[in-house]
Chains A and B, each alone.
Chain A
Amino acid sequence: MDNAASINRKHLAWIERIPGQYWAVAILLLLMPLFAGDFVLFQIFGWTFILGIIALSLMFLAGYGGMVSLVQMSVAGMAGYMLAIFGDSAVSQVSQGWPWFLAIPLALAIACLFATAVGWLAVRTEGIYTIMITLAIAAAFFYFTRQNYDIFNGFSGFNSVVPPSLFGVNWRDPVAFYYLSLFWATVSFLAVLYLSRAPFGLALQGVRDNPRRMAALGYNVTAHRVAAYAFSGLLAGVGGILLTWQSTQISPGTVGIGAAIDILVIAVMGGLRHPIGAFVGAFVFVLLKTFARDFLLILGLGGERFQLLIGLGFLAIVYFSPDGILGLWDKLRNWQKRDQLLEQKERNL
């Protein structure tokens, strides 16, 4: 019956095949500016989409490629730095001031190259080694940007990096920025969704599950992995550029080790099995980061114990639900579906 339904669905136009939940979420997000304030649009949702894009790049690598990389924030930071260096910023002795249509593609290309180089190094090792190596690279990048004054302007980094006013719109206006980040989040989400079902994505998942068999079948395992890094670098680069525009600055603090781990926390908290997990995780993280202070004050603790809250939450998620919040959701659904008399999970017929 399931088979017949899928054949039937093939005849429908592609637009009718999009599940109902997607429509609901899309309409809700598109209409958000009608009832949400500037703070919610710019700080909460803008930031959620940006962190979500960067976490999505990690989700792509970890979920489909089986490679947990801590370098995604550095790649995002690289794109932001390159944008500030080639484009315009308050640090006029370093910034080249090139127009946006040169600076942005260049920034993305360099971020992509950086990710590819890291990938080329990291794929020589497997599993947990990858975490160690990417963590070391992320730390090296952080210290390098902090010490180098010729290119990266050292400790203070770059400020006043603003988006170009294209089509006469001020893209840092909350509503405009909301739509901008929503657009890129949607594009990234759909790209990952598409790629996960395209031949490349399927081969990548094969490589994740059994590299030796894939190699025996004639797939170039290393090339697939490095290509996955390159694509994730592109995603992280988009996120990095948006992040730089949102805060109008980029500095070593943006690419610190704490930030790199935050991305991992977001991706794992959300769940690595589906691209939407990255955005769910980012939303929860941003809410926590924004409102934890008030929450902690209610509990009678100091507002600065935010990291403790995040750490404990992360620990609980990893410890009890390996699939993150999405996994909790699935568990809840299964629990509701169980047969009350048999106390058994209902099987999908």
Chain B
Amino acid sequence: MRIFAREHPIWTAIIGFAALVFVWLIFALWPPFLVDLIGKKKVFLSALLNGITLGGLYFLVASGFTLIFGLMRNVNLAHGSLYLFGGYVGYFAAEWTGYWLMAFPVAFVVVGCLGVLMQLYVFRKLEGQDLRQTLVTIGISIVLADLMLWGFGGDFYNIAAPSWLSGPMETFIATGTKRSTGELIFLKYPLVRIVIFFAAVVLGVSMWLVLNRTRIGMLVRAGVDDREMLSATGARIQIVFLGVFAFGAGLAGVAGVVGGTFQSVAPGEDIRFLLASLVVVIVGGMGSIPGAALGALIIGVAEQFGSVYFPTYAVVLTFLIMVVVLAFRPQGLMGGK
């Protein structure tokens, strides 16, 4: 960072100034001219928070995708189907047990097992044939989507958050003052989204720690760099592959539960989240966990701001970010090559 500041003083100044403006936008009471220009602060803030929490959800989906890709060079286009399946499993687990929290381990284990089956019976058979693997995942996603439509119907399922998590939470960010008394009004925001966002952050940090500080992480990183050499040293790479695939698929399942709580579980969501994770991973950099976090944050915030400030072109904004990144940094923001 210091080196960057020394080499690019002007850029550092611009970035620093932008960060200051941003912090001011969040914490200060907005003067009237700004409200006239871009609307109420409350709208701005909820778009920002929605974007950040949506980014957390995108991170959950995309991190499994990018982990699998990084290790096995396998673009798993059935990842969206795993997400949707996790949502359905979580919904029924929560219904039967009556505990919302039960939905997470059940979805993780069930979808993880599905991932193990896919790795064992499909991907191991086609190892080293990238294109065929990808085509097979497309076939699997078509089949899974139709099976789920068959089994669960076209209805919307909503996973209800428990009572201790529902309802709004008062944050410490002021949005305005009361006319009569001059008291500050603080922004209220759904508690469950904030809790889930922090859970995603904790998960992301622990994933990073496991990857960078443990023996298993060392095996995975070595596998990313050079699978042949790793297997030549006697590491049982197939078990590592199986574990990573199960974990990535399980994460997609957990993300399905989160998505079902935030929004809803319905046919078509699989494609939506597959695309979201594609764009996130392209922007962030393939195979990089910090890249997935950064990409998820950017895409989530851009999507929410887009839908608030220019509703007609919200999708184009996301897409434009992808194009710009591809044009100037084809390997993604955090992707190294």
Contact = CB atoms under 8 A, between A and B. Distances in A.
B308 interface: no
A318 B130 contact: no
B279 A136 contact: yes
A132 B131 contact: no
Contact of B139 (A124, A135, A318, A322): A318
A133 B282 contact: yes
A147 interface: yes
Q: Is the interface of B mostly helix, strand, loop or mixed?
A: helix
A231 interface: no
Interface of A: 68, 121, 124-125, 127-129, 131-133, 135-137, 139-140, 143-144, 147-149, 257, 261, 264-265, 268, 305, 307-308, 310-312, 314-315, 318-319, 322
B143 A136 contact: no
Interface residues of B, number: 42
A118 B313 CA distance: 19
Contacts of B330: 124-125
Contact of A311 (B146, B275, B286, B323): B146
B312 A136 contact: no
Contacts of B122: 319
B282 A136 contact: yes
Given A140-B315, A144-B315, A148-B313, 12 more contacts: A121-B326, A127-B130, A128-B75, A132-B281, A133-B282, A136-B279, A147-B312, A264-B138, A311-B139, A319-B122, A319-B139, A322-B132
Interface in B99-138: 122, 125-126, 129-132, 134-136, 138
B3 interface: no
A135 B278 contact: yes
Interface of A is mostly: helix
Nearest to A313: B139
A322 B125 CA distance: 13
Interface in B256-282: 271, 275, 278-279, 281-282
Contacts of B323: 121
B240 interface: no
A137 B323 CA distance: 9
A133 B75 CA distance: 12
A147 B135 CA distance: 30
A259 to B, nearest CB: 12
A132 B282 contact: yes
A314 B130 contact: no
Contacts of B140: 311, 315
Contacts of A149: 312
B132 A318 contact: yes
A256 to B, nearest CB: 9
B92 interface: no
28 contacts: A121-B326, A128-B73, A128-B134, A132-B281, A133-B322, A139-B271, A139-B275, A140-B319, A143-B315, A144-B316, A147-B311, A147-B313, A149-B312, A257-B275, A261-B138, A264-B138, A265-B138, A308-B147, A311-B139, A311-B140, A314-B138, A314-B142, A315-B140, A318-B136, A319-B125, A319-B136, A319-B139, A322-B132
A135 B275 contact: yes
Interface string B300-326: 000000000001111110110011001
